[in-house]
Amino acid sequence: MEWFEESYGDASLRIRIKRVIADFESRYQRIQLFETYSFGKMLVLDGKIQLTERDEAFYHEMLVHVPMLTHRNPKKVLIIGGGDGGSVRETLKHDPDEVVMVELDRDVIEVCRNHLGIDRGAFDDPRVTVLVEDGMDYVISAGEKFDAVIVDGTDPNPFSQHISSAEFYQACERISDVFATQSQSPFAQLEYFREVLENIAGVMDFRVYINFVPAYPLGLWSYVIHPERYPEAEEIRRRFIEREIRTVHYNPEIHIASFALPEWIRMIVDRIRK
């Protein structure tokens, strides 16, 4: 294969492939790992790009540092999905006592750990517990609370659509101080974006923030957050410095600016939040 192409309706993104590292069907999905010419290694699940080495930090840093810096002192963190290890890696930068990652597909973890390595050792950190099970089952039966619950899931498919259901969000709200989830592209996947917001709106108040991730559908990406309290800008800046976080994309100014929504997104969000 010379090119990998992912289509979103009438548009598509094409990335030139140098080499296929892995390509097989797991129990849940087709897993492909490619080496590309200019995006580094690229993980694809069921034909959808999950990350490229070149821009994965744009996504993982915004998904993780916004909720983690929203919390005063996050020591216990739950990640749902995230089998590539990028979210766990970023979470460890906050020096938590305990991180639990619940990923459904063992093969995603294995391929990424053995051939991708973006976890940079996070999977072997003694503070990290990796559980291979359904995120929904875990949160429904969880008997403990977390300072932050972060959802790093896939686009909706038969085994992942319930981790964007109202029932799932209800359970997450019950066990978290700060909750955050990725919510796909408001431009290329408007229907799914709306559905996530509607399901969350029935359960908790929330805000949406956005950033740019080039390898995701048409580049614009979104996230939803629900804290007990939003910190002032000064507090975010102070926490970032105190925790000595090193990043390639995130900084406190981007954090603050990412909540400024263009009118067309603000109107969608406001209609649903009412």
Q: Are 100 and 131 in contact (CB under 8 A)?
A: yes
Say if residue 175 is exposed, middle or buried (CB neighbours under 10 Å; 0-12, 13-18, 19+): middle
Shortest CB 176 distance to ligand SAM, Å: 16
What is the spatial distance between Cα 108 and Cα 174, in angstroms, rounded to a whole number? 28
Cβ closer to ligand SAM: 92 or 236? 92
CB of 153 to ligand SAM, least distance (A): 4
Whether residue 152 lies in the annotated active site: yes
Closer to ligand SAM at the Cβ: 150 or 201?
A: 150
For residue 65, what is the DSSP state? H
The residue (of 44 and 254) whose beta carbon lies closer to ligand SAM is 44
Question: Which H helix or E strand runs over 78?
Answer: strand 76-81
The distance of closest approach from Cβ of residue 51 to ligand SAM in the complex, given in angstroms and rounded to an integer, is 6
Task: Give dist(CA 12, CA 194) in Å, integer.
Answer: 22
Helix (H) or strand (E) holding 98: strand 98-103
Choice between 86 and 240, CB closer to ligand SAM: 86
Q: Which tokens sit at 15?
A: 């990335």
Among 23, 152, 177, 270, the active-site one is 152
Q: How far is the CB of 154 from ligand SAM (least distance, A)?
A: 4
Summarize as ranges the residues that interact with ligand SAM (CB under 6 A). Answer: 50, 80-84, 102-105, 108, 134-136, 152-155, 159-160, 163, 182
- Residues annotated as catalytic are 152
